[in-house]
Amino acid sequence: MSERLQPGDTAPDFTLPDADGNDIALAAHKGRKVIVYFYPAALTAGCTKQACDFTDNLDLLAGAGYDVIGVSPDKPEKLAAFREKENLKVTLVGDPSKETLEAYGAYGEKQSYGKTVTGVIRSTIVVDEEGKVERALYNVRATGHVARIIKDLGI
């Protein structure tokens, strides 16, 4: 099980393919705040709700200086289908190797329908302009999560 990040930690850098197969690097966002959220799978109910909520609030978040990157273990082709089907504007990247998910503490044992399973732990990490973890939220719920982040960040 990977270690969970704490505020003040350096956010692990990553370069992952987006829905179009282009490399997206966390380092390219230096100087801006980034909300990196981890979700189990594209085209599922909870993950769709969360991605749509981020898309609906993207202008508000961008206006407050935040970029948003969604990370799942999906391949770019599935991310592209997800983006097209749901009209998503948020940047989605795939981590099939799960290295980034593990580096962020977003992959490991979790409870699912009363059973202990290994998988993606729905998590959100807010990274500041210098690449440090500002907030680390684990085991979040898809519904209402974006509204809570906006409130917590004072946007």
The residues carrying an active-site annotation are 47
Strands 115-120 and 107-112: antiparallel
For residue 148, give every residue at least 6 positions away whose Cβ sits within 8 Å of its Cβ, in sequence order, or none: none
Q: Write the burial class of residue 96 (CB in 10 Å: 0-12 exposed, 13-18 middle, 19+ buried).
A: middle
Contact between 40 and 120 under an 8 Å Cβ cutoff? The reply is yes
